[in-house]
Structure 1
Amino acid sequence: MPPSTAGPLPVTADDLEQAVQLALATLREAPSAAWDRKAGSLEWDCWETVEHLSDDLFAYAAQLGPKAPPLEGDVPFVWESRRPGGPANAIHADRAAGSAGLLQVLEASGALLVAMVRTTPSRVRAYHVFGVSDPVGFAAMGIVETLVHTHDLAEGLGLAWTPPADLCSRVLARLFPDAPSTTDPWLTLLWATGRAELPGHPRLTTWRWQGTPRS
């Protein structure tokens, strides 16, 4: 039988749920005193980075929420930073709830996006700065945010983190169609988001995904 020439399967809400749950399982291993460490190459600490990731997932869900989603801008929540140089979020976790509460905020935000992707008709389009997108596109964006920010967090928290290759392949195909397809999918995703070198390819200093639907 000849080898299959089919590309990666489409991204699904189940993929997003898997990404969030894998991230949570890893982050729950972090020492309780480590959350004020810098998150990898970011200028934010690990607590702020989880808040930022939670905010991303919440914001993507919100974009899909209105009956007539906005096509020219974001749903106008107030995004604000708690300190100069910190991430501008609508979502902030109560510090008194500790790291368990912080991760509960992340899980809840991820669940909102999973639910919106599952229930929003595929014909719906909504604004994103990297291109007006569809529910599958927002799921893929949420997965990329989850995978790469968990990478940043793992570096800061001293944890091991390698997500499934098939998950990386699907989001690369959806959002980074020009990325190399014969290299390790996880390393390629890190390269495509400016976080790693890829043999034979210059390291990226600027990057963006293509959020518009593929068809």
Structure 2
Amino acid sequence: MDDLSISIRNLQHYMYCPHRWGLINIDCSWAENVYVTKGNLLHKRVHDPGRAYLSRQKRVMTSVPVYHDELGLYGVTDCIELTQSSNGITVEGFKGPCQLTIVEYKPRAPKNKAFNEDDALQVYAQKLCVDNIFHCSSEGVLYYADQKRRQPLPLEENSAIYQERLEAILKDIRRWTLEGKIPPIPPKQKCRGCSFNDVCLPKTKRREHFKAVLEKINTP
């Protein structure tokens, strides 16, 4: 079971909603709405090779494939920045030691908090892969396109918490995948902005309706 490789994109889908993840990966369904389209357009611009550049102090790499064999995890980062740092590592093609920073782009900043924990866990998964490849301790930030600002993430400070949660999610994903079953909708799941709203909720509402009808029939 541990040999089943999982993409960081799949990790994102599962964290958003296990049931939605199951519809995509087990049922092979897909649906988009305006939020998905906006996110796709943003990442298409970010992953444009023309955005990569090299200067004396900084090198920016886009669409960097990363992996971690022991965790069975792989993906593609939006952007990795290499900045001159006396405490950094040596990277071929960059003059002098440098610090690596993972930059994950998000269309909108969350309300009433600095960042979403699921987004932080996504970047933490990327960090594990980057650190494994480059033998370094990379940093991670979120870039909110609507506010045009960066949000640093406490990846090192919360590494024990993120590591435990990541391993638990990977275990769940592998279990559901091997069983070929779609996870149930989590309690209090926010479905309003989900692109699968029309695909998922009608079935759920019909099941609830039939259940209510059967309860009335069976009630003395």
TM-score (structure 1 length as normaliser): 0.30
Between Structure 1 and Structure 2, the one with more helix by share is 1
Q: Which structure is higher in RCO with an 8 Å CA cutoff and minimum separation 6?
A: 1
Structure (1 or 2) with the larger CA radius of gyration: 2
TM-score (structure 2 length as normaliser): 0.30
